[in-house]
Amino acid sequence: MASKFFLLALLAFSASRALASDPGQLQDFCVADKTSQVFVNGFACKDPKTTVVEDFYFSGLHMAGNTSNKQGSIVTAVNVAQIAGLNTLGVSLARIDYAPYGQNPPHLHPRATEIPTGAIPVVIHFQVNIGNNEAIAIAALSSKNPGVITIANAVFGSKQTISDDILAKAFQVDKNIIDHIQAQF
């Protein structure tokens, strides 16, 4: 009886063996080839043999940006345009410098979700420095190229202008106010 059980166990074990493996190495990175004429969603990959350390490095985050503008802020974007090694990874980040009481005006990212330090915003979001000292924020974005649409620029400074009548009715103000705002853009 024991020999039958042993033979049955040996048969079951040998029948359950399977061989599986990857046919080749997976590609760990795809450094953007910004000179390629090939059109893909993003950038084509450069030959891994031509990859250099600079493809994975950006040296600007330690430097404060110039915040002497109307908004009192400046964004230093770090995406695939600055670090070619971010290609296909689906991540980027930004440093936002604020003057005292400066703001990063209402905006959205058409190809990403933003997670700034300290908060998780909704689709249209903004940040404001409520203090009388300079401030810095770091934001992570879920895209190698998140894009940005500043709401005021899109509404009041668009190339194909939106009718004063439409804007006056939408914002429930006089057309002269709309004209004054549009003149700023």
pLDDT of residue 38: 86
Residue 56: CATH number of its domain: 2.60.120.10
E strands present in the chain: 73-78, 92-98, 103-108, 114-116, 125-128, 135-141, 149-150
Q: Please, what sign has the CA dihedral across residues 160, 164, 169, 173?
A: positive
Looking at per-residue pLDDT, the higher value among 65 and 8 belongs to 65
Instruction: Compute the residue count for the chain.
Output: 185
Same domain, 75 and 160: no
Same domain, 36 and 100: yes
- Does some domain include residue 9? no
| 100 and 154 inside one domain | no
Give the Cα separation of 176 and 181 in Å (integer).
Answer: 9
Q: Do residues 130 and 28 lie in contact, with contact meaning Cβ atoms separated by under 8 Å?
A: no
Domain check: are 92 and 170 in the same one? Answer: no
Tell me, what's the pLDDT at 145?
86
Is 80 within 8 Å of 87 (Cβ atoms)? Answer: yes
One-letter amino acid for residue 3 of the chain: S
How confident is residue 100, by pLDDT bands cut at 50, 70 and 90?
Answer: very high
11 within some domain: no
Is residue 56 within 8 Å of residue 85, measured between CB atoms?
A: yes
Number of domains in the chain: 2
How confident is the model over 127-168, as pLDDT tens digits?
A: 999 999 999 999 999 888 889 999 999 999 888 889 989 999
Q: Is 107 annotated as a binding residue?
A: yes
37 and 121 inside one domain: yes
Q: According to the annotation, is 109 in a ligand binding site? A: yes
Identify whether the C-beta of residue 79 lies closer than 8 Å to the C-beta of residue 86: yes
Please indicate, yes or no, whether residues 141 and 153 belong to a single structural domain of this protein.
no
For residue 99, the enclosing domain spans: 27-147
Q: Which has the minimum average pLDDT: 7-11, 42-46, 149-153?
A: 7-11
Q: How many other C-beta atoms lie within 10 A of the C-beta of residue 28?
A: 6
Domain co-membership, 142 together with 154:
no
Angstrom distance (rounded) from CA 84 to CA 32? 5
**What sign results for the dihedral spanned by CA atoms 144, 145, 146, 148?**
positive
CA-nearest of 111, 71, 115, 68 to 94 is: 115
pLDDT tens, position by position, 51-67: 999 999 999 889 999 99
**Residue 114 known to bind ligand:** yes
